[in-house]
Amino acid sequence: MKPHTIDLVNKQGLRFFGSVNASISHELKNIFAIISETAGFLNDLTQLSKQGKPFDLSLLENCSNSIAEEIERGFDTIRQMNQFAHSVDDPVRETSIADTLTLAVKLTGFLSFAKKAHLDETAADTMVFTSPFLFQTLIYKIFSALYRALDVKDELTVTFHDTASSAVFIQFSHNQPADLDHFPDPQTAEIADVLKATVKITDTDLELTIPLKNE
C-alpha cells in the first residue's frame, strides 16, 4: 500500500468517520429516548400503586421487556461502533469479507433511506489483505448509493466468492433498475483505485472486484 493511502485517509477519512459516528449517535439517542419514555411510564405505574389504585400488572412486564430489549439494542450498536472504530488501527491487514459486509449492513441500516439487505450466509468467508478502513468505506458507500437509488420496496441481495485471478467478486443484486449514473463519484472512485478494486454496474447489479492482496 503506497503512502497515497494515508493521504486519502487524511483527506476523506475524518469526514466519513464523523458521518458514520453521527448516525450511530442518533441511533443511540433514539434508544435512550425509548428507555426514558418507558421509565416515565413505570414511574406513573409506581405512583398508581402508592395511591392504592389498581392497574394491569402485565404493564410492568411489558415495560421491563421493552427496557431490556432497548439495552441489548444499545449494546449491539456500541459493539458495531467499536468494530468500526478499530478499522483504523492498522493501515493494512487481513480483513474478513463477511465481517466487512455484515458491519456495513448494520451501519447503513441506521440511515433514514436504508432498504432491506440480505447477505449470502452460505458463502465461505474470504480474507483479503488490504486497508480495512478504506475497504469498509467503499462498501458503505456502495450500500448507501444503492439505497438512495432503489425503490422503497426493493431489496438487496449480496453474494461473494473467490475468482480464478486472485481476487474476490462481490455482487450486489436488486430487482428493479437503479439510477447509478453518477456512481462512483470522484471520491469513491479514488478509494477504489487505491484498493485496486473495480466497479461494474448493470441495470440490476453492482459488481465489485477486489484483489486478495493489495500491498
DSSP the chain: --THHHHHIIIIIHHHHHHHHHHHHHHHHHHHHHHHHHHHHHHHHHHHHHTT----THHHHHHHHHHHHHHHHHHHHHHHHHHHHGGGS-SSEEEEHHHHHHHHHHHHTTSTT--EEEE-TTSPP-EEEE-HHHHHHHHHHHHHHHHHHS-TT-EEEEEEEE-TTSEEEEEEEESS----TT-S-HHHHHHHHHTT-EEEE-SSEEEEEEESB--
Question: In this predicted structure, what is the pLDDT of residue 210?
Answer: 95
CA dihedral 161, 105, 180, 189 (to 10 degrees): -70
- Evaluate if residue 191 carries a pLDDT over 80: yes
Q: Are 210 and 101 spatial neighbours (Cβ–Cβ below 8 Å)? A: no
- Evaluate if residue 102 carries a pLDDT over 60: yes
Question: In this predicted structure, what is the pLDDT of residue 14?
Answer: 82
Question: In this predicted structure, what is the pLDDT of residue 211?
Answer: 94
Domain map (residue ranges) of the chain:
4-86, 92-211
Question: In this predicted structure, what is the pLDDT of residue 10?
Answer: 62
pLDDT tens column, 41-94: 999 988 988 888 888 888 999 999 999 999 999 999 999 999 999 998 998 999
The Cβ-side half-sphere exposure at 5, using a 13 Å CA radius, reads 20
Higher-pLDDT residue of 179 and 38 is 38
Question: In this predicted structure, what is the pLDDT of residue 153?
Answer: 86
pLDDT tens column, 23-56: 999 999 999 999 999 999 999 988 988 888 888 8
Q: How confident is the model at residue 2 (pLDDT cuts 50, 70, 90)?
A: low
The fold adopted by the segment(s) 92-211 is Heat Shock Protein 90 (3.30.565)
Higher-pLDDT residue of 136 and 152 is 136
Going by their DSSP bridges, the two strands 116-119 and 155-162 should be labelled as parallel
Q: What is the arithmetic mean of pLDDT over 158-186?
A: 88
